[in-house]
Structure 1
Amino acid sequence: MKNKITTLLAAVVLLAYGCKDDKPITEATISPEAGTTYNAGKAVSVKVNFPADAKVDSVVYLVDSVKITSRTDTQSVSIKTDSMKLGSKVLTARVFEGAANYEVSTNIVLLAAKAPEELTFIVEKVYPHDTSSYTEGLEFHDGFLYESDGGYLDPPPESVVDGQSSLRKVDLATGKTVLQALNDPKVFAEGITVVGDKIIQLTYREKIGYVYDKNTFKLLNTFSYTAGKEGWGLAFDGEKIYNTDSSNRILFLDKNDYRQIGYIDVYDDQKQIDMVNELEYIDGKLYANVYQSNDILVIDPKTGAVLQKIDMSKLYPAYERNEGSDVLNGIAWDAKGKRLFVTGKKWDKLFQVKFVKK
């Protein structure tokens, strides 16, 4: 697939270096055209087009500043994409001509190799859910649900969600809160994840993260959240924390100091997927809500490719839900019992579901 993404501006960057007596070529161009899209696994043919009088000694080819290959002629090169993360890639040819060298660059966008497999769901059990909880994060550990409830006690003008944010420990069978920690009235709580005997909680735009003792909910410390534009979802794979920030990017955070250590960008075979929200790590894959959507996505945590998609629109249609309910959000995994739970913001029900092939 080589459709052009029109929102990307074609740009050729020429950087010339060398002695004053050397006259590097400035008319060279590079293909593919900036913004061209490729599906992962498809080789990209990169070609530098030189003037007829060019005297090129060698060309070094780089992807995102990392050397891939080099040639001592002006022929095109084929770059493999099988193992690359998805998203925008800068392709650079560094040309050497005598004592001078210069660079010419373009960019491509790498999409998922194929369309996501479409799954459906089976409802295995239904539990009560507290309608006061504007669910922003959901976890299941040691027989209990842990839930982050978002809201402002003194809401700013643009906010439509009032009520003080909190962290809750919830009895699955009854939906009742058995332990609660209230947040600062001026912050909006977002995603949570469990790391050992600690619970990590983000805030929406306040750039603050909280660390709690999982058993007592005692606040152990706070930290400055600087990784993403906003604090959204969290998940933990035993080694690193995954974090969404309102975009199509999933950030990797260090589990000890919460600084960014990497990222992936989420794409299907056609486009980037924005507003990736609440996360859960299940058997080597990331499961994600998409804000204002009824879809749950299964994402490859190494590349960002959407592997599977589940349309949850028939789980609990808006016309059947309780008054005051909002969108689908909240995924929790019982690793021991192999149970999957989903709910929504201020829903009166939490569902145990199983994803199956159509």
Structure 2
Amino acid sequence: MTHHRTLGVVLTTAVLCGCSSGDGAEAAAEGQPAVREAITGGSAQSFPVLRPEVLAEVPHDPSAFTQGLELHEGTLYEGTGLEGKSQLRVLDPATGEVLRAQSLPGQLFGEGIAVAGDRIWQLTWQDGVVLEWDRATLTLRQQLPLDGEGWGLCHDGTRLVRSDGTDRLRFHDPVTFAETGSVTVTIDGEPVTQLNELECVDGQVWANVWPSDVLVRIDPARGRVTAAVDAAGLLDPEQRANADAVLNGIAALGDDEYLLSGKLWPVSFRVRFVEE
């Protein structure tokens, strides 16, 4: 698919650092020079830069403020956000149809999700709690205190991995959610911040870099970025509802295929990551 923007442009705009539009490019360049240089082919580049090859398009609810996406045993789970509108959903992976949905209590702002055995963990953004759901019934089991913000979450088979918008990945027990450690994410020693929705795949962690069209693959043992994906132009600009409609959702489908989606996107994409 034709890319509407180069990766260099994506990483030198205000969106990567959350800066105001007045000082966008300059502040972004100062904020994460290692990311910019590495992905645009500078001296720091030490990993492959990939692009998503689109294999198919799948309809997606354009009202869904997607915060988490995971395929587990043939069922696609989605966590959505916004106060008073957040849900945990079960989707048909082939059609995108919402099969079941459970609203979060009160005004909780939902974030990333992860399946761990018979439970689903769902983060909240700044509410200071994490939710434990029964996977079979989507019944809320309990709310536990959460230290700091909740952004992305995935399960690597042994532990939960959480992002909180900083340059750190935090590790949690999949049964009690107790924090067991953390690692700083870097490129050549420089921190990579604003890590968002996560997907654990084969011992590595994929992360959306909010609010850009960039994904990075991270070695959680050392925190080093091992690959990046330029997904700029994946969604037609005319299909973006507003500035909040950013890439945010990655689910591993097996056979090196992934489902990519975003907040308020009318479509998701089944893709394979290939080198330029």
1:277 aligns with 2:208: no
The secondary structure found in structure 1 opposite 2:123 is strand
More helix by share: 2
CA positional deviation for 1:151: 0.8
Counterpart CA distance in 2 for 1:175 and 1:295 is 23
Residue identity opposite 1:167 in structure 2: L
The secondary structure found in structure 2 opposite 1:320 is helix
- In the alignment, which residue of structure 2 is the partner of 1:286? 205
1:116–1:268 CA contact under 8 A, matched in 2: no
Residue identity opposite 1:271 in structure 2: E
CA deviation vs aligned residue, 1:220-274 (integer Å, no higher than 9, x gap): 1221112xx2011001111110000110100011112111111111111262111
The secondary structure found in structure 2 opposite 1:299 is strand
Among candidates 76, 79, 93, match of residue 145 of structure 1: 76
Residue identity opposite 1:240 in structure 2: R
2:257–2:273 CA contact under 8 A, matched in 1: no
1:152–1:165 CA contact under 8 A, matched in 2: yes
| Structural mapping, 1:56-205, within 5 Å | 115-153=46-84, 164-205=85-126
- In the alignment, which residue of structure 2 is the partner of 1:339? 257
CA positional deviation for 1:197: 1.4
Judging changes above 3 Å, is the alpha-carbon distance between structure 1 residues 252 and 270 closer, same or farther for their aligned structure 2 residues? closer
1:246 aligns with 2:165: yes
Counterpart CA distance in 1 for 2:45 and 2:262 is 30
The secondary structure found in structure 2 opposite 1:303 is coil
- In the alignment, which residue of structure 1 is the partner of 2:132? 211
Counterpart CA distance in 2 for 1:298 and 1:127 is 24
CA positional deviation for 1:338: 4.7
- Greater Rg, structure 1 or structure 2? 1
Counterpart CA distance in 2 for 1:147 and 1:184 is 17
CA positional deviation for 1:322: 4.3
> Which residues of structure 1 form unaligned runs of 5+?
1-38, 40-112, 154-163
- In the alignment, which residue of structure 2 is the partner of 1:10? none
TM-score by length of 2: 0.80
Among candidates 181, 191, 214, match of residue 262 of structure 1: 181
Among candidates 223, 228, 246, match of residue 304 of structure 1: 223
Counterpart CA distance in 1 for 2:118 and 2:165 is 28
CA positional deviation for 1:323: 2.9
Counterpart CA distance in 2 for 1:341 and 1:150 is 19
- In the alignment, which residue of structure 2 is the partner of 1:59? none
- In the alignment, which residue of structure 1 is the partner of 2:269? 351
Residue identity opposite 2:266 in structure 1: D
Counterpart CA distance in 1 for 2:66 and 2:153 is 13
Counterpart CA distance in 2 for 1:270 and 1:198 is 36
CA positional deviation for 1:114: 5.7
CA positional deviation for 1:195: 0.1
The secondary structure found in structure 1 opposite 2:269 is strand
The secondary structure found in structure 1 opposite 2:121 is strand
2:241–2:264 CA contact under 8 A, matched in 1: no
CA positional deviation for 1:334: 2.2
Counterpart CA distance in 1 for 2:95 and 2:229 is 27
Larger relative contact order, structure 1 or 2 (CA cutoff 8 Å, min sep 6)? 2
CA positional deviation for 1:143: 2.0
- In the alignment, which residue of structure 1 is the partner of 2:30? none
Indicate the percent of aligned positions where both proteins have the same amino acid: 36
The total of aligned residue pairs comes to 233
CA deviation vs aligned residue, 1:59-85 (integer Å, no higher than 9, x gap): xxxxxxxxxxxxxxxxxxxxxxxxxxx
Counterpart CA distance in 1 for 2:268 and 2:261 is 5
